[in-house]
Amino acid sequence: DTFTISLIPHTRTETILGDKQPGDIVNIECDVIGKYVAQFMEGKKEEPKSAITLEFLERHGFK
pLDDT, tens digit (0-9, with 9 covering 90-100), for 17-51? 889 998 898 887 777 787 778 888 888 766 657 77
What's the pLDDT at 9? 92
Torsional sign, CA 18, 23, 29, 31:
positive
- For the entire predicted model, the pTM comes to 0.38
Per the CB < 8 A criterion, the answer to whether 11 and 17 are in contact is: yes
User: Does residue 58 register a pLDDT over 80?
Assistant: yes
User: Integer distance in angstroms from the first to the last C-alpha of the chain?
Assistant: 51
Q: Where are the domains of the chain?
A: 9-59
Instruction: Count Cα neighbours of 54 within 13 Å in the Cβ-side half-sphere.
Output: 2
pLDDT band for 10, please (50, 70, 90 cuts).
Answer: very high
Helix (H) or strand (E) holding 28: none
From the list 35, 31, 34, the residue with the least C-alpha distance to 46 is 35
What's the pLDDT at 47? 65
